[in-house]
Amino acid sequence: MLSVLQNLFSDIPMLLLRIPVILLVLSMHEAAHGYAAYRLGDPTARNMGRLSLNPVKHLDPLGTIMMFVFGFGWARPVPINPRYFKNPKYGMAISAAAGPIANLLLGFLGLFCANLFWFIMTRTGLIFEAGGMLYAGTDSTFLVNLITYTHLFFYLFYMLNVSLGVFNLIPVPPLDGSRIFLTFLPPKLYFQIMRYEHIIQIVLMLGLWMGFLDTPIRAAVSFVMRGMEWLVGLIPIF
């Protein structure tokens, strides 16, 4: 854990860059839940102001810290009242899936923007390659830093969106994947599992904190990222 924190704070500009990205990614995730529920007939999130991208309305302190330290976490859940849905079971599943799906789509957009930005920089000569190395085509330190951190912003937006989307698809309470998976279980079994939601959440936190889940989660994230990079690579301009 100490090494993780040392790496996190070793680059202050990178830390400052992560702050707006994490706030934006978490807010978009929760707003997507609320908007999907609203479109399905539940006005609860809208009435509570949770369709906003204002991070103050969405952030959970522990989940936000987890995003900084591990790259995956959560925000304060958007309230959803299934009684407004024509089909409560599937309405809950769709609303739960909206957050991770939004993150994955936004992640793809972030990767596209990162590649497009780099493409423009190389075409304009502000970045060029020689002998297998990348060089700046300008002597301006300000411009070099601007190019570097703009590209990093897009790439972080891509990486953290994918991480959050994949993490929340894990079918374990209280993550979104559980709301999707448990929807297809018999009601009796569903409520039996949900009785232990808080215990399962503690076990999940311990597993993350002790690093037991790092390898499978990062493998899943890497798999999705490779797929997205392959898709973006099919775009002719790249």
Residue 142 domain boundaries? 2-233
Note whether 42 and 91 are within 8 A (CB): yes
Q: Establish if 238 belongs to a structural domain.
A: no
Q: Which residues contact 142 (CB under 8 A, 6 or more apart)?
A: none
Phi and psi for 33 in degrees, rounded to 5?
-55, -50
Q: Establish if 38 belongs to a structural domain.
A: yes
Q: Tell which wins on pLDDT, 43 or 88.
A: 43
Q: Establish if 186 belongs to a structural domain.
A: yes
Does the annotation mark 129 as catalytic? no
What residue type is assigned to position 5 of the chain? L
Instruction: Give strand pairing partners of 53.
Output: none
The total domain count for the chain is 1
Q: Respond yes or no on whether the N-terminal peptide bond of residue 100 is cis (omega within 30° of 0).
A: no
Q: Establish if 14 belongs to a structural domain.
A: yes
The total number of residues shown for the chain amounts to: 238
Q: Tell which wins on pLDDT, 214 or 104.
A: 104
In this prediction, residue 132 has a pLDDT band, given cuts at 50, 70 and 90, of: low
Task: Sort 106 into a burial class: Cβ within 10 Å, 0-12 / 13-18 / 19+.
Answer: buried
Q: Tell which wins on pLDDT, 124 or 231.
A: 231
In this prediction, residue 234 has a pLDDT band, given cuts at 50, 70 and 90, of: very high
CB atoms within 10 A of CB 148: 13
Among the options 30, 129, 197, 229, which is catalytic?
30
pTM for the model stands at 0.84
